[in-house]
């Protein structure tokens, strides 16, 4: 039991060090349902600290009228072990069309990841880190650009999983972190989910969100 906790703590520490690995979805369920005009797969409460390996709400291209719950950390269909997903909670936009884990999902399995904020840690002197929460100035819901896949375990059970795409930081984020999650404009969400959208048009959506529409706040702790 202790070993499991140590392994989980090590994973979370690594997440804070390298990429975009925590976000929040604190709006009421009905507001999320109304925003995406979709039925919810199961009831859920506000999430103040969504983390990799958790089952979290997504809207996929295959079922855009339903909010489903997938495991955060993409497990490619060809993977031998589920543990590979622990390293794939993010996908870099710059290499998404070439990486074996992501190139097929990029073409066929795109999704929206609902959120209303995300967290980043700025490295300080002496190894310390300062957490920040980043939201829209409007405090509205928004969608991360995501990819998903289906993996079958040795028993034949299917596990649906997803990853969040990252890009270079905008002017608001530059001083905090060298990456940021791709946030889609609301009018681009249908384009992202549409399988008929040309690859180059889909790829063009993977860019930093407008910094003027965002705000950042220093916090004492996450969650």
The set of catalytic residues is 20, 120
Burial (CB count <10 Å: 0-12, 13-18, 19+), residue 67? buried
Which tokens hold the place of 43? Answer: 């009831």
Which tokens hold the place of 78? Answer: 């060809």
Contact 153, 159 (CB under 8 A): yes
What whole-number distance in Å separates Cα of residue 79 and Cα of residue 75? 7
Please state whether 85 falls in left (phi above 0), alpha (psi between -120 and 50) or beta: alpha
Q: Please state whether beta strands 90-92 and 158-167 pair in parallel, antiparallel, or not at all (unpaired).
A: parallel
Question: What does the longest C-alpha to C-alpha distance in the chain come to?
Answer: 50
Contact 112, 184 (CB under 8 A): yes
For residue 30, CA distances in Å to 27, 53, 114, 180 come to 8, 25, 13, 28
Cβ count near 195 (within 10 Å):
11
């Amino acid at each position: 039991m202790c070993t499991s906790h140590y392994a989980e703590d090590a994973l979370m520490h690594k997440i804070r060090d390298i990429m975009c690995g925590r976000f929040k979805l604190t709006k009421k369920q009905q507001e999320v349902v109304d925003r995406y005009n979709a039925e919810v797969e199961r009831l859920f409460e506000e999430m103040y600290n969504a983390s990799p390996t958790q089952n979290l709400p997504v809207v996929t291209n295959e079922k855009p009228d339903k909010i489903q719950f997938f495991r955060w950390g993409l497990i490619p269909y060809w993977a031998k072990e589920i543990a590979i997903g622990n390293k794939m909670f993010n996908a870099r936009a710059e290499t998404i069309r070439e990486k074996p884990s992501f190139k097929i999902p990029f073409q066929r399995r795109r999704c929206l990841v609902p959120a209303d904020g995300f967290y980043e840690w700025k490295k300080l002197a002496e190894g310390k880190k300062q957490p920040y929460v980043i939201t829209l100035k409007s405090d509205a819901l928004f969608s991360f650009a995501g990819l998903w896949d289906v993996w079958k375990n040795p028993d034949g059970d299917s596990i649906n999983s997803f990853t969040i795409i990252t890009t270079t930081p905008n002017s608001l984020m530059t001083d905090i972190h060298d990456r940021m999650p791709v946030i889609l404009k609301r009018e681009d969400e249908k384009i992202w989910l549409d399988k008929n959208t040309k690859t180059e048009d889909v790829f063009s959506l993977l860019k930093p969100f407008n910094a003027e529409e965002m705000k950042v706040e220093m916090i004492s702790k996450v969650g």
